[in-house]
Amino acid sequence: MRLIVLMVVVLIVGLLTLQQMAPKDEPSVSTEPHDAAEDSTIPAVPTRPNEIKQFSQDMDQYIQDEMAKRVEAMEAATKQ
């Protein structure tokens, strides 16, 4: 009797584990909206070591631009 109960418990735990580990059919939804046009401004990841310095500069500029956009959006939201 104990062996049967143990087997049932192991089966249930296995099924629950499979459900949690299985990939979801629906893609994850981003919390922030983005446009395809904005994605083109994101710097491409470098593939060669000599491109890292330029990538760093491009990424810094991108971060500054995004911060400026968010500041403008926050100011516009607080003015309303």
Domain definitions of the chain by residue range: 42-80
Considering the chain, what percentage of its residues have pLDDT values greater than 70? 81
pLDDT in tens, 3-55: 999 999 999 999 999 999 887 776 665 556 555 455 558 888 889 999 999 99
Query: Token pair for residue 40?
Result: 């083109």
The model scores a pTM over 0.85: no
CA atoms of 29 and 12, how far apart (whole Å): 30
* Cβ 62 vs Cβ 42: under 8 Å: yes
